[in-house]
């Protein structure tokens, strides 16, 4: 037995125990715990009458779901005989996408463990499995491999600092050996996998480029947003946390001639109220009436889910949150596809698409509120720069689309129309 397996079992026990304790006073932890209560009973009921082949897609959270979504929807369209199972580890993904209409079932993934993995697979009987980007649950992957079910990693991304590439990462490397094939975003990830003897790797790029381009091509106006913006220059900040809002707030206060649309990452009542306190001249989207010309209001706080990707088309300048926190930046590709400059905080270097944007002069990282204001003043004063950014963004997107087709052409031999 790998010594690492003992530590892994301990980690799983501690994670479960910690989540239960945290659930007593933390909303997300409570959702995580309650979402897994009676999960196997729910699964048995859902799958009892199924006789169709099942394609299982596992996503850690919402960001990974967006990477898997183009593949889900293509498989659903081209192979309608398959039924789609989507699982999430995090409430951030499940709560937003639990009613996703392209999936036949959406569930939380029961916490890893040999017994859980065997029971889950016995009930769901997947014919093909896709894990998106990361989350390498050892027992699930091991049992999928033992069942001889094709298993793929989609939009994988690896760094030399990860345990797979360290002397102590024996269990981690064993876990990777269970995959049938790896579809990775970057050549650097392929090279790293080669160093540990994994050769079944294809560089396909990031499937999110296909997703955001589809969003742009199917874009439709939001009447209330259009009314709020009028003919003013618009700043759209998506997926913000408190740290992001504190950076932006002064600039919004001293620029009443602009419109600011703030879409926080979480839209619970407390978070919306926090935003309304931070921004002095703000109104919540639900309370905004285009017929009521509220004096001085230049900040609109979005208090719903699912609208953000459409909002970026209104932006003269965009901002993506998360990069002032430990987890790093959220999705910079959503604003990029519409051609606006993208501003964000300093924690972006683990995200290759954000690094690419900086290198190409499309993305603009800032360290603090002062740098943010200086960057904004610079961008607002240079129309020619804005035009160059729009052109460069379009070129970058076109260079990177097509990952979904590349992946699909490789996996079709594992699919059947029967």
Predicted pLDDT of residue 366: 98
pTM for this entry: 0.90
Out of 64, 135, 190, 353, pick the active-site residue. Answer: 64
What lies within 8 Å, CB to CB, of 45 at 6+ separation is none
**End-to-end alpha carbon distance in the chain:** 41
Q: Which residues of the chain have pLDDT under 70?
A: 1-2, 418
What distance in Å separates the CA atoms of residue 82 and residue 71, rounded to the nearest whole number? Answer: 13
Taking the C-alpha atoms of residue 19 and residue 381, their distance in angstroms, rounded to an integer, is 49
Tell me: the pLDDT tens digits for 116-133? Answer: 999 999 999 999 999 999
215-400 matches 3-205+402-414 in CATH topology: yes
Residue 326: per-residue pLDDT: 82
341, with CB counted inside 10 A (0-12, 13-18, 19+), is buried
Report the CATH superfamily, name and number, of domain 215-400: Glycogen Phosphorylase B; (3.40.50.2000)
Whether 64 is a known active-site residue: answer yes
Buried b / exposed e over 172-191, threshold 16 CB at 10 Å, is bbbbbebbbbbbbbbeebbe
* Secondary-structure class of domain 3-205+402-414 per CATH: alpha beta
Residues 135, 391: Cα–Cα separation, whole Å: 36
156: its two tokens? 């994988």
Q: What is the pLDDT of residue 4?
A: 86
Q: Per-residue pLDDT tens for 34-47?
A: 999 999 999 999 99
Q: CA angle at residue 266 from 394 to 17, to 5 degrees?
A: 120
Angle (CA) 331-405-79 rounded to 5° is: 105
Q: Where are the domains positioned within the chain?
A: 3-205+402-414, 215-400
Query: Residues 222, 324: contact at Cβ < 8 Å?
Result: no
- Per DSSP (E only), the strands in 60-150 are 83-88, 105-108, 126-132
Provide the CA 408 distance to its chain's centre, in angstroms.
21
At 246 the pLDDT is 98
pLDDT value, residue 418: 66
Other Cβ atoms closer than 10 A to 326: 6
H-type alpha helices, 125-268? 138-146, 170-176, 187-195, 208-217, 223-229, 242-253
């Amino acid at each position: 037995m790998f010594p690492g397996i003992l530590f892994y079992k301990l980690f799983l026990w501690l994670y479960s125990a910690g989540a239960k304790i945290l659930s007593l006073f933390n909303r997300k932890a409570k959702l995580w715990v309650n979402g897994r209560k009676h999960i196997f009973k729910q699964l048995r009921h859902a799958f009892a009458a199924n006789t169709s082949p099942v394609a299982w897609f596992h996503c850690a959270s919402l960001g990974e779901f967006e990477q898997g979504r183009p593949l889900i929807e293509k498989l659903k369209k081209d192979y309608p005989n398959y039924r789609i199972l989507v699982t999430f580890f995090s409430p951030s993904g499940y709560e937003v996408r639990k009613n996703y209409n392209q999936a036949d079932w959406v569930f939380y993934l029961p916490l890893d463990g040999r017994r859980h993995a065997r029971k889950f697979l016995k009930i769901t009987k997947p014919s093909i499995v896709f894990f998106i980007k990361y989350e390498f649950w050892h027992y699930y992957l091991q049992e999928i491999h033992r069942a001889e079910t094709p298993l793929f990693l989609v939009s994988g991304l690896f760094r030399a600092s990860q345990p797979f590439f360290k002397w102590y990462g024996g269990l981690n490397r064993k876990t990777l050996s269970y995959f049938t094939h790896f579809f990775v975003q970057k050549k650097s990830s392929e090279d790293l996998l080669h160093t540990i003897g994994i050769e079944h790797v294809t560089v396909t790029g990031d499937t999110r480029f296909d997703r955001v381009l589809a969003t742009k091509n199917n874009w439709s106006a939001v009447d209330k947003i259009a009314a709020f913006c009028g003919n003013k220059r618009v700043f759209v900040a998506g997926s913000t946390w408190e740290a992001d809002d504190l950076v932006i707030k002064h600039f919004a206060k001293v620029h009443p001639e602009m419109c600011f649309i703030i879409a926080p990452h979480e839209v619970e009542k407390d978070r919306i109220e926090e935003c309304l306190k931070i921004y002095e001249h703000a109104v919540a989207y639900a309370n905004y009436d285009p017929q009521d010309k509220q004096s001085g209001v230049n900040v609109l706080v979005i208090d719903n889910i699912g609208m953000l990707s459409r909002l970026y088309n209104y932006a003269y300048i965009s901002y993506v949150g998360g990069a002032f926190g430990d987890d790093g930046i959220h999705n910079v590709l959503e604003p990029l596809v519409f051609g606006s400059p993208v501003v964000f905080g300093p924690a972006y270097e683990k995200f290759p698409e954000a690094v690419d944007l900086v290198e190409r002069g499309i993305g603009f990282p800032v360290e603090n509120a002062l740098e943010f204001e200086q960057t904004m003043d610079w961008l607002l004063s240079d129309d020619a720069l804005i035009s160059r950014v729009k052109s460069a963004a379009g070129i970058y997107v076109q260079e990177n689309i097509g990952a979904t087709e590349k992946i699909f052409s490789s996996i079709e031999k594992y699919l059947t129309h029967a």
